[in-house]
Chains A and B, each alone.
Chain A
């Protein structure tokens, strides 16, 4: 058997793993550059994406005025590093979820321009896909009547 035929016989790719890799890289690199861009001027978003020109503008202004926007960008930067480095991935996806929900809501129901709607759909679907890939970590959270396992009792690590 030649080498190419051997490869086609032996190669049984796990497409789910590759899909996760693609989404993790796309979502992670986008989070990292969009977070870093707030602290270091890497590129300008004039033209299509200036929030001041969108109906989202007033909310963005308040977020910046209250300092919450700096926190959001800090979280985005950290999440980007985690996703790209494949470290703390379920935690990173969970921490990013509230931000993704807000972004998706603003893009889909407030701004509504096609370019921005695409951004919103991409943000929430990438985040939910990563969470779905790590569902096993979150299923214990869905407890009908949960036992108390406080962090100070030593039982917090128990199953």
Chain B
């Protein structure tokens, strides 16, 4: 695979992990 093919997949995974982590932390502090 070329960088322009896997780059977007890596970027999307990074955004997803940040979203998951921030949602998880937010839920934890609210309870």
Please state if A18 and B2 are interface contacts (CB–CB under 8 Å): no
Please state if A18 and B31 are interface contacts (CB–CB under 8 Å): no
Please state if B28 and A49 are interface contacts (CB–CB under 8 Å): no
- Residues of chain B from 1 to 31 with CB closer than 8 A to chain A in the complex: 1-5, 7-9, 11-13, 15-16, 19-20, 23-25, 27-28, 30-31
Please state if A21 and B2 are interface contacts (CB–CB under 8 Å): no
Question: Is the contact region of chain B dominated by helix, strand, or loop, or is it mixed?
Answer: helix
Please state if B16 and A11 are interface contacts (CB–CB under 8 Å): no
B28 to chain A, nearest CB (A): 4
**Interface pick from A23-31, A62-70, A147-155:** A23-31
B18 to chain A, nearest CB (A): 10
Q: Look across to chain B and name the residue whose beta carbon is closest to the beta carbon of A80.
A: B8
**Interface pick from A2-10, A101-109, A136-144:** A2-10
The answer to whether A25 and B3 touch (CB under 8 A), given A6-B31, A10-B27, A18-B20, is no
Which residues of chain B have a CB within 8 Å of any CB of chain A?
Answer: 1-5, 7-9, 11-13, 15-16, 19-20, 23-25, 27-28, 30-31
B3 cross-chain contacts in A, Cβ below 8 A: 43
A54, CB-defined interface residue at 8 Å: no
B28 cross-chain contacts in A, Cβ below 8 A: 3-4, 6-7, 10-11
B4 cross-chain contacts in A, Cβ below 8 A: 30, 33-34, 37, 43, 45, 49
Q: Look across to chain B and name the residue whose beta carbon is closest to the beta carbon of A30.
A: B8
The answer to whether A11 and B27 touch (CB under 8 A), given A25-B16, A30-B8, is yes
Please state if A10 and B12 are interface contacts (CB–CB under 8 Å): no
16 new A-B pairs (CB below 8 Å) besides A10-B30, A22-B16? A6-B28, A11-B28, A18-B19, A25-B12, A26-B11, A29-B8, A29-B12, A33-B4, A33-B7, A33-B8, A34-B4, A37-B4, A43-B3, A43-B4, A45-B4, A115-B1
